[in-house]
Amino acid sequence: MAEAFSAPDSVWQDICQSPAGTWLMPRTNWPAIPKTSIRGLRFFAHRPGFPDKLPAPESYAHTRLKIEIALALRRTGYQADLEVSGQTPNGDAWIADVLARRKDDKLFAFEIQFSSQHLADFRSRTLRYSQSSVSICWFMPFKPVANRLGKSLCYENQAYYKEHGVFVSDCEEIIPFWFDIKGKDEYPDQSPEFHFGRGQNNRRLTIDEAVAGMMEGKPNWQYPYWNWRA
């Protein structure tokens, strides 16, 4: 399957003129139609007649950020691919928004979460990657996702707050990068600023710094906080 977002204009024109069935959708192997959205975003869609339930469409912001993470990884020297599937030794399936590989073959999954999900879902999805020897980080808007995740962890750690007077709004299993954005249907022309850590540990990062730092092991857990290695 070709990459719509990385194809040069001349190659994309050739793709658009290819006979039906030349290109297949990943995972379903159904014939694909090359399309360009009203905002100029190139993508592939299933041709009519697909007999099963189609995957839920991604939001514009999700797709844009997924592409930007992959391109940032490639700019900083790493192999990166979109929508890579795998499974745990027990057969539990996962599909990484972006899967990156270091020269030592260590794998990293970059998951984008624009909709709020339960803390237990963050943990169960993270565990599937860990069981597959894949490190994972999460990219999420502050509102509503990162904010609600932090509140859930604070609630879970009430005993620590009562004893030490410190809110614990992170945990070791979940590596979070957050950013501000208006909504799922909008994405700025230039990448937003990304944040890692909270309070005095907060680091402001470009997308290249964020993804390269993750690959280099800069996220550092020191209970009860995440911090960024210098």
Q: What distance, in Å, lies between the first and last C-alpha atoms of the chain?
A: 39
Looking at residue 87, its amino acid is: Q
pLDDT value, residue 203:
96
pLDDT value, residue 146:
96
- Where the chain has pLDDT below 70, the residues are 1
Please give the Cα distance from 1 to 131 (Å, whole number).
Answer: 28
**Nearest alpha-carbon partner for 113 in 94, 136, 140, 137:** 140
Please give the Cα distance from 95 to 82 (Å, whole number).
Answer: 9
Residue with tokens 């993470």: 69
Please give the Cα distance from 142 to 145 (Å, whole number).
Answer: 6
Residues in the chain: 230
pLDDT value, residue 220:
97
Q: Where are the domains of the chain?
A: 1-57, 60-228
pLDDT value, residue 56:
81
CB-CB contact of 43 with 37 (8 Å): yes
pLDDT value, residue 1:
60
- Residue 180: half-sphere exposure toward Cβ, Cα within 13 Å: 2
**At 200, is the secondary structure helix, strand, or coil?**
helix
Q: What are phi and psi of 219, to 5 degrees?
A: -60, 125
Please give the Cα distance from 113 to 92 (Å, whole number).
Answer: 20
pLDDT value, residue 139:
98
Buried b (16+ CB within 10 A) or exposed e, 15-32: beeeeeeebebeeeebbb
How many CB atoms within 10 Å of residue 169?
Answer: 22
CB-CB contact of 80 with 74 (8 Å): yes
pLDDT value, residue 26:
82
pLDDT value, residue 199:
86
